[in-house]
A and B are shown apart, each in its own frame.
Chain A
Amino acid sequence: MQLLDDKIDRMLSLPPYGQAPDATESGLLELLKEELEFACARHAGYKRYVDHWPVNYRTAAQMSDLPYLPVAMLKASPPLSFVPPEEVRRTLTSSATTSQLPSRIVLDAPTSRRMTKGTVVIARDFIGSSRRPYLVVDAPDHKAGRDSIGARRAAIQGLQPFATETTYCLRSDDNGDLALDLEKLTKFANRNRDAEILVYGFTYILWNHLVKPLRAENACLDLKNVRVLHSGGWKRLQDQAVEKQLFNEQLARVVGCDSSCIVDFYGMVESVGVIFPDCQHGNKHAPAFGHVIVRDPLTLEPVAEGDHGIVQVCSVLPTSFPGNLLLTEDIAQVIAYDGCACGRRGVSFRFAGRVPKAEVRGCGNIEIKRSAVN
């Protein structure tokens, strides 16, 4: 285990976006094979799945041949785990609607440490390494236990290493409804007007509880030296017809910054530690310790540049749960396999929405299912 741990750490210490794609792939491929071996020795069910894979991972020549697990499998109860219960340090849960089960991700100490480091390494490449006042557009979670943590908390905590002080500018009532604490926010803004500041919130929370109330007051925080990071996706803003451009314009207006200071990043609890911020050209990139494969739904082969497909995320970070090779339920377009104008090496891509759920129907009206991706 120590040897594997050292190898992962070495990969984490590489420049996250500096390696040529071939070098990244060969390094990742070998390490992922070792991690599969490690995982199979610890989980009989997972081993059975891997053993039935059409390609033997031990002889696989490319990362796309390795056995990936559909992300929905992480909703299993009890959670899929490669470590004994006494070594589980924390369980992360994904956000889920009432009709869905959340994913449950078990973290041991080494995986937890790597995931924190992974987030920092990536975020540092986008916002710099300095520590600064950290404004969280959310409410402090007094009820959160040490053992279990949700997606929002995980994202907030992931950026904590960049904070000199942390201020939560929302409060929640007994029903969990959020409201802006304008007094607290104003004090924070007045205190840090000239400082470099980090702001983070879930996308829909920023819109509903920061942009809308400040816009109603015609208020502006006048925070020019700021980086606003947000994540969580756009689904909850679709009903309000809020698209990215409008979101950025309005958020920049109430914060008082340029819209280029706003960074949307994609991250999932199931692959925490590997986040995908937008570069200045609107593309997302995979770090040296992870990879993204966009698969053609018809063949499950990687798509050509410009094509859409189902996103698979790869990460060497987890060793406590099967999160190394995950087929997600998201659709993305591969922009290029290398050469993004931002200078980051490797694949660049853009998310294009969720995979529509397939419903089992007998002679059913499946017009929605018929819509092809590309």
Chain B
Amino acid sequence: MVQFQQDVESPRQISDVAARLRQAVLDREVTPDEVLTIFDAWGKKLDARQLDEIPGIVFLRMWLRRGTLEPIIARELGPNSLHGGWNDYGLATCKAFPLGVIGHWPAANVEIQPILSMTCALLGGNAALVRIPHGLNELTRVLVQRLVEGDPDEILMRRIFLAAFDHGRRDLHEAMAQAVDGAMIWGGRASVLQVRSLPFPHWARLAVFGPRISVAAMDAGAWTDPAEREPWCRRLARDLWQFDQQACSSPQVLFLEKDSSHSTAELAPLLQRAFEDENRVHPRTIIPPGLTTAIAQARASWLLKDPAHTAVFPSNPDWTLLFGSGPEIPQPTQGKTLAVLEVDNLLDPIARLDGNVQTLGLGVSDPEKERVLAELAGRRGIDRIVKLGRMHAFVPPWDGLDLIRPMVRMVRHVSSVNEYDNESASKRLEGCYGIS
């Protein structure tokens, strides 16, 4: 069996692995269809009870389904790309070819992110050299081991290498950067800046995701609807619990539109119940002490600051609801600490958002209002506007970027064979560009 993971100690190991991966890409074209067949099998192998506790595993299984990925491939690479075909593109035809070896620097706080990042490169026909964060080493190895079972001919396994090394080993990070043709970089500001400064080849393409935060908003029609408001609270709780509210797509604040005949305080017990229920099903098993103290500080500073502030929280750091009003996003705490702010008009907070906000999770009853909110959010720099409960659904574009296309070369072929006479070519050009 091909070796797919190792604790790396020297730059030479990395360059040797990269050379092997690059040769695997050159040796054989793998069409997206072949990749999907293997992914489908892999997804089924991940459907095992002993893996159920891995955060995000349900989503990963769905992500690997052919039904999920086929439309993404068609949209990003063209309708004929599934089987490696060329797509008409004006006067030319185009086909996606792999960049080569893609280096992945996933974040350490999203358990399935090394796998998700890797799959994006593999779908483009690339090889994936993945630097595994220390805390995710064993978990990622277990997940990829299931791929081994779903890939008996080692079609993808020859294109994967999980490199485990200490995040402080600059020499190994540099060796990895020098050895790749593209990179997918996920992380906090310091991590992203550090990785971007590595000596990548001048041709390497970098796709950077994060760091960002997300917000949620509900209009009065949604949160006052007696039949709907409990389900909205449950959806919001699900969005908070995934990734311990530490992903880019995790909501840090909920803006509630004021209603003349209802107090937003009515929602507090429903949110509390939804949080308690979600916590019962998905309790924390570990917490960094720094997050515990940050949560304690958030509770205290919120209540000390403003006479109008209220809060609900248990004796433990499991979750926190901070109630107030105003359109500004408070300093995020994470760790399931949600500020719930009443506003006169949802346009007020959304007009204050900027590119630091990735996702706007909405619970809105009025389609026209939602259209206006989405339009404004897009203008203010938000890249995803989704329904509450689906804030983490990993569907491209993500952070405003496609996931597969940045790591392929769209090769343009203008035929030298005189297939068209000049007149018909001119007509096609006019059709393409509206030339009159």
Contact = CB atoms under 8 A, between A and B. Distances in A.
A8 to B, nearest CB: 24
Interface string B203-242: 0000001111110000000000000000000000000000
A367 B288 contact: no
Interface string A340-374: 00000000000000011111111111110111110
Contacts of A366: 107-109, 188, 246, 288
Contacts of B108: 364-367, 370
B304 A358 contact: no
Interface string A41-60: 00011101100101100000
A300 B313 CA distance: 13
B268 interface: no
A73 interface: yes
B51 interface: no
A369 B334 CA distance: 13
A277 B281 CA distance: 45
Contacts of A76: 304
A362 B294 contact: no
B135 A367 contact: yes
Contacts, number: 167
A310 B309 CA distance: 27
B303 A45 contact: yes
A179 interface: no
Interface stretch (B89-97, B314-322, B407-415): B314-322
A329 B188 contact: no
A15 to B, nearest CB: 33
Contacts of A136: none
A48 B211 contact: no
A183 to B, nearest CB: 46
B367 interface: no
Contact of B211 (A54, A69, A361): A361
Given A297-B317, A362-B358, A356 B290 contact: yes
Given A52-B310, A54-B313, A70-B293, A362 B301 contact: no
Interface in B289-304: 289-294, 296-297, 299-301, 303-304
Contacts of A331: 289
Nearest to A53: B315
Interface in A23-45: 44-45
B188 A359 contact: yes
B304 A45 contact: yes
A364 B109 contact: yes
Given A360-B333, A363-B109, A363-B187, A73 B248 contact: no
Given A327-B293, A358-B288, A369-B290, A363 B303 contact: no
Nearest to B284: A298
A368 to B, nearest CB: 8
Contacts of B286: 298, 370, 372
A372 B286 CA distance: 7
Given A48-B309, A300-B317, A356-B288, A363 B334 contact: no
Contacts of A371: 288
Contacts of A370: 108-109, 134-135, 286, 288
A74 to B, nearest CB: 10
Select the residue from B187, B214, B307, B314 with max chain A CB neighbours within 10 A.
B187
Nearest to A331: B289
Contacts of A80: 304
Contacts of B246: 361-364, 366
Cβ-closest 5 pairs across A and B = A364-B188, A361-B188, A358-B290, A362-B248, A369-B288
Given A55-B315, A363-B107, A365-B191, 6 more contacts: A73-B301, A297-B317, A356-B290, A358-B294, A361-B210, A367-B108
13 contacts: A44-B307, A52-B312, A297-B288, A300-B292, A357-B290, A361-B187, A361-B189, A362-B213, A362-B247, A363-B109, A366-B288, A367-B167, A370-B108
Interface of A: 44-46, 48-49, 52, 54-55, 65, 68-70, 72-73, 76, 80, 297-301, 309-310, 327, 329, 331, 355-367, 369-373
